[in-house]
Amino acid sequence: MAEFTLELNDDQKQVRDWLHGFAADVIRPAASEWDEREETPWPVIQEAAKVGIYSLDFYAQQFFDPTGLGIPMAMEELFWGDAGIALSIVGTGLAAVGVLANGTEEQIGTWIPQMYGDADDVKVAAFCSSEPDAGSDVASMRTRAVYDQAKDEWVLNGTKTWATNGGIANVHVVVAVVDPELGSKGHASFIVPPNTPGLSQGQKFKKHGIRASHTAEVVLEDVRVPGHCLLGGKDKLDQRLARARERAATGGERVKNAAMATFEASRPAVGAMAVGTARAAYEVALDYAKTRTQFGRPIIDNQGIAFQLADMRTRIDAARLLVWRASWMATAGKPFESAEGSMSKLYASETAKKVTAQAVQILGGNGFTREYPVERMHRDAAIYTIFEGTSEIQRLVIARTLSGMPIR
């Protein structure tokens, strides 16, 4: 395990510069068009596939970076380009990670290639967990999966919401309840193969921001999937459920905390996305302040503007440091004893909202128009305090971790 350092090595710098170039040359020029269209930017995803960014191999290389900085570095650069398009590029990774974390080697080899397709025929995948009445409260999930032993099939019924690529995906990964009495420990994940009868797209959401990323409901009506589509297999599920029932009376809380610790490790990546958006807005505001003149001088000479820019840069750097610390700790296997994962996500997401709002203010009337990108960045930034756990949930996790209270 690499020691913690703030200096990127030569390989990391090369990857960072490569990603930055793609974000600047391909993502940014397309950002306004696809935001207005509110459609999946297939041509941009295809370009990302051609150069190797839209692929499991690329994300695996960053994930296994021994410093832990590969993923946050990649997320920051892509989201610096544009949050909506970047989410369309990385959204399949949510489903892929679900298969990697829970699937067998055969399932990984079978389904992940189908999630990405190839440069000539790109595909996307969807991870379906949230429900209309079960967002932060995963124990309230209602989607059910019932095993039909005679046919060795699972029958899924329910409605998922807020699914990135939901309904348009080639492969859907669906989390469902198999044992309602066990709460969140009674859940399992299933692959729904392409063109499976009973799966349909529900409402497509018209969003405030990240409009180039497709978000929709996924409706499951008597969706039958073969037994081998249960991630990890039935034997593993049965063993896990048996252990959960055993621990329910005496050790259940400890198990929940361990699960929360695992979930915590994914949050720095979202923080890095927020840092990318904040940095982009800050750079636009800085350039504008240097060139915009009022009363015969650049507005950056105005202390009120200069101090705002100083605060913006300081917050961005502090957010990045929290993200990098948490990412390194996760890779090093160090426990988040003070909820460092949630700290990084909380601070970075709140920073993105504040910095993009300040950028709009610095640009004045121009910042309020779609002629300048900070208006879009400000809309996009709102999502970071909502998905992957709201800011309120992050504060709850941090407070309960510090106090020793159980995290439910």
Active site residues: 388
How many Cα atoms are found within 13 Å in the side-chain-facing hemisphere of 402? 9
Across the strands, what pairs with 155?
Answer: 146, 224
Nearest Cα to 275, choosing from 347, 331, 373?
347
Say if residues 196 and 106 touch (Cβ distance below 8 Å).
no
CA separation for the pair 203, 37 (Å, rounded): 17
> Of how many residues is the chain composed?
408
DSSP string, 261-275: HHHHTTHHHHHHHHH
CA separation for the pair 99, 93 (Å, rounded): 10
Across the strands, what pairs with 134?
Answer: 131
Nearest Cα to 308, choosing from 249, 265, 367, 224?
367
CA separation for the pair 252, 200 (Å, rounded): 36
What SS3 state is found at 336?
coil
Say if residues 351 and 315 touch (Cβ distance below 8 Å).
yes
Those residues with Cβ within 8 angstroms of residue 62's Cβ, 6 or more apart along the chain or in another chain = 15, 70, 71, 73, 74
Across the strands, what pairs with 215?
Answer: 164
- Per DSSP, 365 falls in state T
Residue 106: how many other CB atoms lie within 10 Å: 10
* Region for 40 from its dihedrals, namely left if φ exceeds 0, alpha if ψ lies in -120 to 50, beta otherwise: beta
DSSP string, 341-356: HHHHHHHHHHHHHHHH
Across the strands, what pairs with 145?
Answer: 156
Residue 51: how many other CB atoms lie within 10 Å: 15
CA separation for the pair 43, 88 (Å, rounded): 11
